[in-house]
Amino acid sequence: MPPLPHNAAIAGLLDEIYHSVISPERWGTLPERLAAAVGGGAWALQLVRPGQPRRADLHGCNFDPKLVALYPDRYAALNPWLASLLQRPALQLTHDHHVIQRKGFFRSEFYTEFLRPQGDIHRTFGTIITRGDTGSLVVSCNYAPSEAEAVGVTGSQLLATLAPHLRRAFDLTKMAGHSTLQAGTRLIDGLGLPHACYAIDSRGRLVACDSRGAALLERGDALCLGDERRLRFADAEANAALDDRLLQEGRVGGSFVVDDRAPQRMLARLSHLPRPLASSPIESLFRGERAIAVLTVIEPGAPGALDEDLTKLFELTPTETLVLRRLCEGLSMAEIAAMREVSVNTVRNQIRSLFEKTGTRRQAELVALVARLGG
C-alpha cells in the first residue's frame, strides 16, 4: 500500500477516497473534492474508451455543462493532450507542455470551441489511474495561465501524491464487489436451492458460483469454462441465447432452454444485478470487469421421497407431480412448458387439476401446502 502523507488536509482527502471503497457513489464527488483542495481548476474523471474515433465518459466540475455534454462524442477525439497521455504509463503525471506542440494548437477546434469559451483553460495536467477492458481511467485538471502557481503547481503535486492511493482505492472497490458476490454464493449454498448459480460479467466470464454450479462445471457434459473463463454450454443455441442477452448488458432477463441431450431438458435463467450508484466513468470501467448478471441453471433432477408421498396422498399423475415440483422450485408456467416441450395451456390445465386434487385455489397456496408437508 502506498505511504500515507503527513499533511492533515491531504489525509482527510484520502479518508474520503478510501471511503469510496464501501460507497462507490462517492467516486462521483472526486473532481469537486480535488478542486476544493487546491482552490480551483476544472477537474475531470474520465474513462477513455479503446478504439477510434476516441470517445470518453466524463464526470467533472467547473466545466460548462453544455460543452461537457458534447465532450464524449466530439471533443474527446479532438483533445491532443489526451491522445499523448494514453501513450504513457499509468500513474505518470503528464503536463500539457510535455506533449502539446504550441504551433497550431491555438487554432485547433478543441481550443477555440472547448477551452477558450470556458476561460482559456488550456493548461492541463493529469494521469492514468488504471487500465481495463473498457478503457483507461484518467484524472485531469484544466486551468487558465493565470492560475499556474495556485492550481498548476499545487494541483499537480496533490495529484502526484494521491494517484497511487486512487489506484489502490479503485482496486479495493473491485475486490469489495467480488467479496460480496462470494458471500452471496455461500448464502445460496446454505439455502440448499436445487439450482446451479453463476455470477458473470458482460462477456459471460465467471466471477463466482455456488457449489452446485461448481459441480455442474466439473461434470462438463452440459456446461464448461471456455477461453477467458467464459461460460459455454454444449448446446450452441443456448450459447447464442446467453450471448444475445449479455449484449444487452443483462437488462433483458427471462429464461431459455438448454438441450443437453438428456431425457429432460435443463432451463437457464438470466437475471441482471443492480448497478452500484457510481459516477459514469467508474461505472463504465467496472462494467467490463464486474458481474452484471446471475445465470441460474435448473436441472431436471430425480424424483425424491416427497414426490412419492405427494403422488399417493393426492393421487397425482407422474406429470402432475413433476409440475408441482417445478412450481415449488420457483419456475413459471412458461418455463415449465419450455422444459417439458408442451404448451403453456397444457401446464395451466395440469395446475388446475392440482388445485382440484389438493383443495387449493392459488399457486402460492399450493406451494405452501407442499412446504408444510416437508418440501
The number of domains in the chain is: 3
Q: Please identify which residue in the block is written with the cell numbers 476516441.
A: 54
Instruction: Report in angstroms the alpha-carbon separations of 61 from 44, 78, 279.
Output: 7, 20, 13
Clarify whether residues 124 and 97 are in a common domain: yes
Clarify whether residues 74 and 198 are in a common domain: no
> Domain with 132 in it: what CATH number?
3.30.450.40
If one counts every other C-beta atom within 10 angstroms of the C-beta of residue 85, the result is 24
Q: Are 322 and 298 in contact (CB under 8 A)?
A: no
What range does the domain containing 352 cover? 305-372
Clarify whether residues 133 and 104 are in a common domain: yes
On whether residue 1 sits in a domain, the answer given is no
Q: What is the DSSP letter of 202?
A: T
Measured distance CA(127)–CA(82) in Å, rounded? 10
On whether residue 184 sits in a domain, the answer given is no
**Per-position pLDDT tens, the chain of length 375:** 555 455 777 878 888 888 887 777 788 889 999 999 999 999 999 999 998 999 999 999 999 999 999 999 999 999 999 999 999 999 999 999 877 777 788 999 999 999 999 999 999 999 999 998 889 999 999 999 999 988 999 999 999 999 999 999 888 877 766 666 665 655 555 555 667 888 888 889 988 888 888 999 998 888 999 998 999 998 888 899 899 888 875 455 567 878 755 445 787 888 877 665 556 677 776 665 677 788 888 776 655 556 777 787 788 888 888 888 888 877 888 888 888 888 999 999 999 999 888 888 888 888 887 776 654
For 264-290, how does the pLDDT look when each residue is reduced to its tens digit (9 = 90+)? 578 788 887 766 555 667 777 666 567
If one counts every other C-beta atom within 10 angstroms of the C-beta of residue 206, the result is 19
Clarify whether residues 148 and 200 are in a common domain: no
On whether residue 101 sits in a domain, the answer given is yes
Clarify whether residues 278 and 335 are in a common domain: no
Clarify whether residues 31 and 162 are in a common domain: yes
On whether residue 186 sits in a domain, the answer given is no
Query: Judging by beta carbons within 10 Å of its beta carbon (0-12, 13-18, 19+), is residue 214 exposed, middle or buried?
Result: middle
For 46-73, how does the pLDDT look when each residue is reduced to its tens digit (9 = 90+)? 999 998 999 999 999 999 999 999 999 9
On whether residue 182 sits in a domain, the answer given is no
